[in-house]
Every structure is written in C-alpha cells, then in structure tokens.
A and B are shown apart, each in its own frame.
Chain A
C-alpha cells in the first residue's frame, strides 16, 4: 500500500500537512481517500446513532438530556450567567500573563545570590500545580473572608479570580520557563558581548524569542482556564454552570447542562483551532527557515 502517493506526499511537505485530517494523500489517491474517509465517517456515525438510539434507556436519556423544550427555556438565563465566566476569564488572563512571567524570570535568575528568589518560585510553582483547584477556591473564597479582617474583600468573584490566577500562574510560569530555557545560551552571551546588561539582554533578546515560542502552549492553558471558571460557582457565584445546575434542580431535567456545555464549547473550540493554526504556522515558518539554511 505504501506507494507513489506516500512518497509524493512526503515531498510535498506542506500539502500533506494541510490534509493531515484526511491522511497524507494527493491527486487521484486524494480523491479516493476523501471518498473512503467520507464513507467510513458515515458508517461510523450511523453505527453510533443506531446503537445509541436502540439502547433500552434511550427514550429516557433523550428526554432527560436532550430536550429541546428545556434547552430553549434555559439557554437565555445560562447565556447571561456565562458573561460572568467570560469576565472572570478575561480578568484572570490579564493578571496571569505578567505574574507568571515574573515567576518564570525569578526562577531563571542565575547565581547563588538569587537562590532565595529561585527557591520561592520553585516552591510556588510546585505547590499551586499540586493542589486541586477546587480546594484553593474554597479556602480563599470561604476561608479568607471567614477571618473577618476589616478591609479584606468578601466578594466571591474576587476570591475566585485570585484562586484561578494563583493556580494558573504556576502552570503558565512553567510554560514561560520552558520558552526561556529553549533560547540558546549563546543568544544571551552575544547580547552581553554587545554591551547589554543582563536585564537588557533578558528583555530585548531572550524574552521576545521565548514568548513567541510558547504562544501555542499558553493558549492551551487558557482553554483550560476558560473551563475552570465554572469552579467559581462552588462559592455561590451564579455563573453558567451554577445557573444550569439551578435549572436542572428546578426541572429534574439535565438539558440545561448541555446548554452550558455548548456555550463553553463555543469559546473553547475556536480557541483550540486557533492554537492549532498558530502551531502549524509556526512550524511552516521554521521549516521554511530550515530550507533556506
């Protein structure tokens, strides 16, 4: 089976990448490939539909999870609540980006003098990556206001955002660090030899390259963040998932969860596709550079 088509495809690097979803084929083989792919997809879908629809519990599940009536009646309220998710997401993201970069830079500081800062950054990243998000949200959202210190905010949204920033900064700082470490030391050496200070070479030479390299994994973390905004609901905030839960409890029908899911997916899937596109573009660029060299 490994024939002309495969070899040709391996030459046309770009072509094959574009058609990766359908398999690496082109020309007549490509058309045949598309036809086979379509047919097998159709067969797969039909088999899934038939198996699900013929299962004994399907009528109950259909009514319980996929009811158009409950979908329509719950969607507007959930969509309104979803604005809170978007708000939490956007505010948290704007705080995470600089804060995580600070952690990553602290961790990359060389020399024995900076050991305490490095250690602090390591402890921070280890701790907040290790602790379950929901626990941090509970402790900050219900525990800190419980101390009843005057002047400390009691807003659940505030503490929800703080918890998400702490957790996600730990992850994102690791992503940044990977980016910083991927910049070859000779880059910094060259910058220093031109007379730039350590700080200048970090800011003007290392970080620009590092950040560009890690944009796809950064977006990946933000897809996760977008979903985790739902956890703020455990503090009582009426965000999309909590609103869905209220609707489910009121009607004993699970369809509102589906409505909330669709709203999340409407944001996260385009974000995921965008990330993939960025990765592909990045790879194309780097390969183009490779060909030139």
Chain B
C-alpha cells in the first residue's frame, strides 16, 4: 500500500516534469525522414524506402472508375475495375513507373485507400496512392506529391435539352445549381472561379453526384474532363460535356501521393520524367483518354 502510493507519487512527479518539458518544446521537432531529392544512385530498387521490401504497394479508391482504370475485370472486392490489370490511364502509368523503378508486374501490389485515408497522419498503408488527386500547395503541407502524371482541365456535364445546355460562358453558368464531388478540386473551381449565385452541392461519392444530375437536383456537374466523358458515355444517358475550362498555365494536375517526406517520391519523379520524355505518357493518354479532348473551352 505504502510503496504503491510512493510509486504513484513518483509517477505524478515524472509526469509533471515531462509535461513541463513538452510545454517547453511546444510542438516543435517533428522528426521527418530525409526529404530532398537525392541522386539517381539511391533509386536502385534495393535502396528504395518501401512499405514491404521487394514489393511496390500502390493505393487507389474502390470503385476504381474508368478511364483511369479500365478493362472491366471485376473481382469480389474491386467492383468496377481491378486496378491490377494495367488497363486504364492510372493503372498503366503506375505499372510503367513500377517498371522504371525495377519492379516486375508481379511485384506490384494494389491496396484499397479511400480518399480520406490517403492523407491521414500516421503510417501509410501504401508506397504511393494514385487516385485522380490534384496537387495544391496547401495539400502539399500534409503529404508529398509527385510531379504531374496528367495535366487536367475541369469540365461541366449537363443534361441535353435543359436550360443550362445552351450556356457558352463561365458567367452564364452563375445562376445555375452546380455540384461536384467532395475531395476533388472541382468544388473549389465552382466556388472560386464560377462563383455561382446558388449554393453549390457537394457529394461524398461519384454515384450520388451522378444520381443528383439525373434527378435534375443539380443543373451541372463539375468534374475533371476525362471523368466528364465517362459520365456522359456510361453513367448518365442524354447528357453532354457542355465545355471544359482552361486551367491557367497548367495549374491543375494529378499527382501521386506519398507520406510526407518519403524519398521514394524523387525516384518516381525521375521515372515520370523519363516516361514523359519518351512519349509513354502521351501514348497512354491516346490509348485511354483519347475521347477526353473534343470539348469547347468555356471562358
């Protein structure tokens, strides 16, 4: 009894000291591992910082939507497309990057990462996440981004024959009820560039947003251009891409997401630079995103 009380007292004292010490440090000194992009030599396969040695773990959301993932190979888990087929723009790019880094396709492992989990603090469950995530400087405070693997324009999908379907300028969109998916930069685009006079809607899932467009609960759905063509082609009959918006100076691009400070990002950047230079990325775009071009530019 006595000794346990003394032990308790000691613990309290210790705790108090530690608390003061913590207060002194005041949230400083997060020990992030070395960040800077180091020389090519460290990008040898055996030198890479990986979740599981000898295996590249790539994250994406489920369902994995076309045209980013394609082929239609479903499994009990991947409901629309299994990302491990190498088909679809993101899947193809991921395998090409993996090959550049020295991984055989069999050494690439896909894991389900919902959007929110991709940037949650703590240990990541992936080496990188590739899921139509746009780079923004603010987001880069929380994670490390790769360079662009796709320069993206926003676009707007509307139902044919509705009032909004004859609009031909950004200003003309203002009176309409617009919607976008939470987590995309499309919503920011609505509020900061279109600035509609009606409160826009924000949906948790692509499915809900698409349903709302079908129901005419929103007049227009803002998504990235390739997704817009998927929506009109496969999800909403009788809809069309009203137009795309030129992102000033290539401001909008999709990037892979890494744990903050992961040195693997620099190696992936080298791989992307090579794939861009030798035309592989362009070829993938022609193969998977060819439809995603012919839309008038709204100004």
A233 proximity list for chain B (CB < 8 A)? 204
- CB of B200 to closest CB in A, whole Å: 7
- Which listed residue (B120, B179, B211) contacts A254, Cβ 8 A? B120
A47–B212 Cα distance when bound, in Å, is 50
A47 to B188, CA, bound (A): 42
Interface residue? A199 (CB, 8 A)? no
- Bound together, the chains give a CA A248 to CA B136 distance in angstroms of 13
Of listed B142, B179, B182, B204, residue having the most chain A CB within 10 A = B182
Q: Are A154 and B121 in contact (CB under 8 A)?
A: no
**Bound complex: CA of A245 vs CA of B188, how far in Å?**
12
Contact yes or no, B122 A61, CB < 8 A:
yes
Give the most central of A50, A234, A236: most B CB within 10 Å. A236
Q: Tell me the smallest distance from the CB of B252 to a CB of chain A, in Å.
A: 14
- Number of B residues whose C-beta is below 8 Å from A? 48
User: Are A236's CB and B15's CB within 8 A?
Assistant: no
Given A235-B208, A252-B139: A64 in contact with B188 (beta carbons within 8 A): no
* Chain B proximity of A29: nearest CB distance (Å): 20
A37 beta carbon closer than 8 Å to chain B: no
Which B residues between 17 and 31 are near A, CB-CB below 8 angstroms?
Answer: 18-19, 22, 27, 29-31
Q: Does B274 contact A (CB under 8 A)?
A: no
B8, B142, B187: the one within 8 Å of A252 (CB): B142
Q: CB of B214 within 8 A of chain A?
A: yes
A254 to B118, CA, bound (A): 12
A289: shortest Cβ distance to chain B, in Å? 46
**Number of chain A interface residues as a range:** 35 or more
Whether A246 lies near B182 (C-beta < 8 A) is: yes
Within B176-208, the residues touching A (CB, 8 Å) are 179, 182-185, 187-188, 199-204, 208
Cβ contact within 8 Å between A59 and B27:
yes
Residues of A within 8 A of B211 (CB): 142, 146
What is the bound-complex CA distance between A40 and B184, given in angstroms? 47
Q: How close is A269's CB to chain B, nearest CB, in angstroms? A: 26
Contact for B179 among A63, A65, A236, CB less than 8 A:
A236
Q: Is B12 an interface residue (CB 8 A)?
A: yes
Task: Please encode chain B, from 154 to 182, with 1 for each CB lying within 8 Å of some chain A CB and 0 for all others.
Answer: 00000000000000000000000001001
Q: Are A46 and B139 in contact (CB under 8 A)?
A: no
Chain A 229-242 per-residue mask, 1 if CB under 8 angstroms from chain B, else 0: 00001111110001
Query: For A47, what are the chain B residues with a Cβ–Cβ distance below 8 Å?
Result: 11, 15
Q: Once A and B bind, how many residue pairs between them come within 8 Å at the CB atom? A: 121
**Pairwise interchain contact B142-A253, C-beta atoms closer than 8 A:** yes
Q: Does B35 have its Cβ within 8 Å of any Cβ on chain A?
A: no
Residues of B within 8 A of A65 (CB): 121
Stretch at the interface among B71-79, B87-95, B215-223: B215-223
Residues A252 and B215 in contact, CB atoms below 8 Å apart: no
- When each residue 110-145 of chain A gets 1 if its CB lies under 8 Å from chain B and 0 otherwise, what string results? 000000000000000000000000000010001001
Question: Is A234 within 8 A of B201, CB to CB?
Answer: no
List chain A residues, Cβ under 8 A from B27: 59, 62-63
CB neighbours of B199 from chain A (8 A): 238
Name B116's closest neighbour in chain A (CB-CB).
Answer: A248
Distance between Cα atoms of A16 and B209 in the complex (Å): 56
* With known contacts A59-B29, A62-B27, A238-B199, A154–B217 Cβ distance under 8 A: yes
| Residue of chain A at shortest CB distance from B17 | A50
- Determine if B50 is an interface residue (Cβ-Cβ < 8 Å): no
Query: By the criterion CB–CB under 8 Å, are A249 and B182 in contact?
Result: yes
Residue B106 is within 8 A (CB to CB) of chain A in the complex: no
Q: How far is the CA of A278 from the CA of B218 in the complex (A)?
A: 45
Q: How far is the CA of A233 from the CA of B184 in the complex (A)?
A: 16
A57 within 8 A of B: yes
* A250-275 near B? 1/0 per residue, CB < 8 Å: 11111000000000000000000000
The answer to whether the Cβ of A156 comes within 8 Å of any Cβ in the partner chain is: yes
User: Does A53 sit within 8 A of B, measured CB to CB?
Assistant: yes
Q: Is the CB of A154 within 8 A of B216?
A: yes
- The answer for the CA separation of A35 and B54 in the assembled complex, in Å, is 59
The residue that B141 contacts in the complex, of A148, A237, A253, with Cβ under 8 A, is: A253
A246 touches B141 (CB 8 A): no
Closest residue on chain A to residue B29 by CB atoms? A59
| CB proximity to B under 8 Å, residues A33-76 | 43, 46-47, 49-50, 53-54, 57, 59-65
Could you list 18 further interchain pairs (A-B, Cβ under 8 angstroms) beyond the known A50-B19, A234-B208? A49-B15, A49-B22, A50-B18, A50-B22, A61-B121, A63-B30, A64-B120, A145-B215, A145-B216, A156-B201, A233-B204, A235-B201, A235-B203, A236-B203, A242-B182, A245-B183, A250-B138, A251-B138
24 contacts between A and B (CB under 8 A): A46-B19, A50-B15, A50-B18, A57-B122, A61-B122, A63-B30, A63-B121, A64-B120, A64-B121, A64-B142, A138-B208, A145-B215, A145-B217, A146-B211, A146-B214, A235-B208, A236-B201, A236-B209, A236-B217, A245-B182, A250-B138, A252-B138, A252-B141, A253-B142
